[in-house]
Amino acid sequence: MLVLSGSTRGGSYNGRLAAFMARELAVRDTDVRLLSLADYPLRLYDGDLEGTRGVPEPALKLAELMLASNGVFIASPEYNQSVTPLLKNTIDWLSRIRDDRYRGLWTDRVFALGAASPGHFAGIRSLMHLRQILENSLGARVLTQQVAVPYADKAFDERGNLTNDKAAAQIERVVAALIAEAGRFT
């Protein structure tokens, strides 16, 4: 499984959510890779740049990791009721890969979504938009189960454990569904 956050900010609630999800998957004997998009820097998508230089190497490396994973969990912060520019730009670059080696990048694995926010809505609006991008634009299989952690500034303890019981129950359901669905792609 591949786990990532759409934020690279230090102390990010979604970074915490991604780390917690990675631990929950790992304790179920699932091979997990938690990555930071900071390790895959991508310039803002530009068709002219793509035309002259092709898809950047960091996007290809990220695509290789996706291909090696049957399941992907994305923790998506909410910016202006949508996904972060970082996450959208990453998806845009990955969607431009046309090499046959990357066939099925979006369709041959399952995606699960989550969000953590200090507000009451818990980033749910970003999840709706992200689901639309992944399913409608890219043909990805996205689980109906998702995680929404409201009041995230109080939802994690100092060791990164989730203290919100409702969100913890959501994570249990998402972990079980992600493992089951990802198993269908093996």
Structural domains of the chain, with CATH: 2-183 (3.40.50.360)
Sign of CA dihedral 149, 14, 162, 171: positive
Cβ pair 69, 109 in contact under 8 A: yes
Cβ pair 4, 74 in contact under 8 A: yes
- Residue 86's Cα: distance from chain center in Å? 12
Six-digit token pair at 162? Answer: 């989730």
DSSP 63: H
Burial (0-12, 13-18, 19+ Cβ within 10 Å), 39: exposed
Cβ pair 3, 21 in contact under 8 A: yes
Instruction: Check pLDDT > 90 for residue 169.
Output: yes
Q: How far apart (Å, rounded) are the C-alpha atoms in residues 6 and 92?
A: 13
Q: Tens digit of pLDDT for each residue in 43-70?
A: 999 999 999 999 999 999 999 999 999 9
Query: What is the pLDDT, as a whole number, of residue 53?
Result: 96
* Mean pLDDT, rounded, for 160-176: 93
